Amino acid sequence: MTGGALSPPRRAWLSVARQELRDLWLGGRALGLLLAFSLLLSAMTYLTATNSLLNFLEQRESVNLTLQIGVAIGALLVLLTTADAISGERERGTLESLLLAPVQRVDLVGGKGLAALSVWVAAFAVAIPYVWFLARGVGIVGVALVGGFVVGSLLALFLAGLGLLISSLSGSNRISLSVSVFVLLALFAPTQLPAGARQGWAGDLFIRIDPFSSSLHYLGKVVVDGHGADQDASWLLSPVIAASASVLLALGASRFVTLRREAGS
Amino acid sequence: MEALDLAVPPGVVLGFLGPNGAGKTTAIRMLTTVLKPDAGTFTIAGIPDTKPLEIRQRVGVLPESAGYPERQSGEEFLRYHARLFGHTRESARETARSLLAETGLTERAAFAIGGYSRGMRQRLGIARALVNEPVVVFLDEPTLGLDPSGQRQMLGLIRQIAEARGATVVLSTHLLAEVEQVCGRVVILNRGRIVADGTVAEIARRAGAPRQGRLQVPPEATAQALEALRERGIQAAEDSRPGQLDLALRAEKADEDVRAALGALLDAHIPVLGLELEGGRLSDAFLAMTEHG
């Protein structure tokens, strides 16, 4: 027998991430999401560029609108991907085989999260030509792209952690997806508050606390108002904290990645 | 689960039996560190349960009703799991191909698992359980849902794992006939505790499993045969078919009773046209040991 001749893999998370990337991209799931994303962006850009009502928007606002949609939907795709990561394996009956491998559960969760972030990177890559098309006339292509990538990456990290956390604790995919979408809508709701509600210290605090509102507000300041990247950096505090906390929580909750104990044989 | 103490030598197939709810799957999941026991400790291949990664490195498992990623190919699935067990990229590829050949799946290696039959999936699951060349292999209901040909193939594979690889195989199943075919040792679990441990013959004997014999004599000699048997103290009754006599045999002395019955008939010059023995099988012992808990 040679059992025991093998040693546990040192970077199991990398093997998990590689396989997840193959499953996501070659399996066609991420491509489908990306296709829907690019159709949405195309429609938005076309409307922004041609629709008479939207044409009244100042060019910088058009860029900001497209960028915000790209960032929000790109991050949402990460949430949809991670919400399925663990609960999906549990539901398909493939989790037990993974748990039988001599790898730490944190490696499984980390690898899956890393692969899910590729969806955000790809979504942002898809958004680049649209942003470039709209921003080239006002000379803010670089600012818009860098700002969008930083803000989107923070939100993607936050939602990746959140999705993994919910997925690890959920018994079924349906619960995981429902809870994830509900949380996302709750986070997105403050961005739709009327201007009046945003006034005063309470409104300001409310917007600053919500990572979504705070991020998109920062993006608006940089793209529309032409502020420097560090001038409004305090608005990034909430997304940075939210991203760090959710990733740490998701990795910590990896010990709850278990089979449900069933009565039976 | 109560205390389980099993020492099984390499190369032996251990039948792990028990009625539904006896705790077989739970025991396997605990022993393979997928579930944590509420209390107690265990060692597998000399490794304590405090080192779950090392235990998983040494055991192979085919879980009950295992799921498979439908879009991955068989080879990709095995390569991935080999990598998770520490194989290099090259050795993972070699291991995957060799296991696909061993389980008869080479021709389907590049096809998506979604198109595999139930039997092929089970064989793929066994191949996955072997990627780390385990010293102990747990197979939870490996023949569940397989047709007779698939069951035969699977039993052949199980024998091969024990004999050629020298691994200890723990086979959990409801099909007692297959246990009789392949298992060198049997453990019967009931309500979380071991109620029998030994070879098939030992367990059948220990359970006092009742046995029955059926003798065939010429129809016209039936009454004479019954008389001859009674004279020797052997309980016999006439069957509904002419010339058939049913014998009640003592579980622990069944062979002796059969010899006595044959002797009685020969001494009475009654020709014996046939003899069938029934009972004393693992299924009888299983029922006797598990029906009343």
Question: How close is the nearest chain B Cα to the Cα of A23, in Å?
Answer: 8
User: Is there a contact between B21 and A23 if contact means CB atoms under 8 Å apart?
Assistant: no
CB-nearest to A3 from B20, B24, B135 is: B135
Chain A positions in Cβ-Cβ contact with residue B65 (cut-off 8 Å): 93
More confident residue, B257 or A145: A145
Q: Does residue B26 sit in helix, strand or coil?
A: helix
Alpha-carbon gap: A125 to the closest alpha carbon of chain B (Å): 26
| For chain B, percent of residues with pLDDT exceeding 90 | 42
Mind listing the pLDDT tens digit for each residue in B55-102?
A: 999 999 999 888 999 999 999 999 999 999 999 999 999 999 999 999
Q: Do B58 and A19 touch (CB under 8 A)?
A: no
Backbone angles phi, psi at B19, to 5 degrees: -70, 170
Q: How far, rounded to the nearest angstrom, does the alpha carbon of residue B63 sit from its chain's CA centroid? A: 16
Contact A6 B72 (CB under 8 A): no
Q: What is the pTM of this model?
A: 0.81
pLDDT at residue A263 is higher than 60: no
For residue B22, the chain A residues in CB contact (below 8 A) are 265
Q: Which of A100, A112, A173 to mutate to test the interface with B (most CBs of B within 10 A)?
A: A100
Tell me how far apart the alpha carbons of residues A158 and A150 are, in angstroms, rounded to a whole number: 12
Chain A nearest CA to B68, separation (Å):
6
Cβ contact, residue pair B69, A101, below 8 Å: no
Picking from A33-37, A124-128, A206-210, which range would have the lowest pLDDT averaged per residue?
A206-210
Minimal Cβ distance to B84: which of A27, A93, A101:
A101
Whether the CB-CB separation of A233 and A144 falls below 8 Å is answered with: no
DSSP 3-state of B190: strand
- Would you say B102 and B126 are in contact if contact means Cβ atoms under 8 Å apart? no
Would the CB atoms of B57 and A7 count as touching at under 8 Å?
Answer: yes
Measured in degrees and rounded to the nearest 5, phi and psi for residue B39 equal -155, 165
- Cβ-defined contact of A19 to B80 (cutoff 8 Å): yes
Locus of tokens 């089979």: A259
Report CB contact under 8 Å: A4, B81: no
Which strand (E) or helix (H) includes residue B216? strand B211-216
Cβ <8 Å between A6 and B166: no
Residues 6+ apart with CB under 8 A from B112: B70, B71, B72, B73
Dihedral of CA A89/B24/B119/B89: which sign? positive
Q: Shortest Cα distance from A99 to chain B (angstroms)?
A: 6
Of the partner residues A27, A97, A265, the one whose CB lies closest to the CB of residue B71: A27
Poorest-confidence range of A68-77, A81-90, A220-229, B96-105?
A220-229
Nearest residue of chain B to residue A18 (CA atoms): B80
Q: Which residues of chain B have a CB within 8 Å of the CB of A32?
A: none
pLDDT digits (tens, 9 = 90+) for B188-244: 888 777 888 888 878 877 666 556 788 889 988 888 998 898 888 888 888 778 888
- At B36-60, the pLDDT tens digits run 888 888 888 889 999 999 999 999 9
Residue among A5, A26, A264 minimizing CB distance to B21: A264
Q: How far is A88 from chain B (nearest CA, A)?
A: 11
Burial class (CB in 10 A: 0-12, 13-18, 19+), A131: buried
With CA atoms as reference, the chain A residue closest to B24 would be A265
Does B56 contact A265 at a Cβ distance shorter than 8 Å?
A: no
ipTM above 0.95, yes or no: no
Mean pLDDT confidence for B4-12: 83
- Ordered structural domains, chain B, with CATH: 13-198 (3.40.50.300), 207-290 (3.30.70.980)
- Cα torsion at B15, B16, B19, B20 (round to 10°)? -130
Mean pLDDT score of chain B: 87
Of A23, A97, A263, the CB nearest to B63: A97
Which of B66, B83, B87 is nearest residue A96 as measured by Cβ atoms?
A: B66
Q: Give the Cα-Cα-Cα angle B101, B58, B86 (nearest 5 degrees).
A: 70
Nearest-CB residue to B133 (from A3, A8, A264): A3
Sign of the alpha-carbon torsion through B250, B255, B258, B262: negative
Check residue A1 and give its pLDDT: 39
Eight-state DSSP code of residue A202: H
B235 vs chain A: nearest CA distance in angstroms?
40
Is residue B279 very low, low, confident or very high in pLDDT (cuts 50, 70, 90)? Answer: low
User: Cα distance from B279 to chain A (closest Cα, Å)?
Assistant: 26
Provide the shortest C-alpha distance from residue A166 to chain B (in Å): 21
**Chain B residues with CB inside 8 Å of A106's CB?**
none
Nearest beta carbon to residue A265 from set B24, B53, B54? B24
Spell out which chain A residues touch chain B, with contact meaning CB-CB distance below 8 angstroms: 1-9, 12, 15-16, 19, 22-23, 26-27, 92-94, 96-104, 258-259, 261, 263-265
Grade residue B280 by pLDDT with cuts at 50, 70 and 90: low
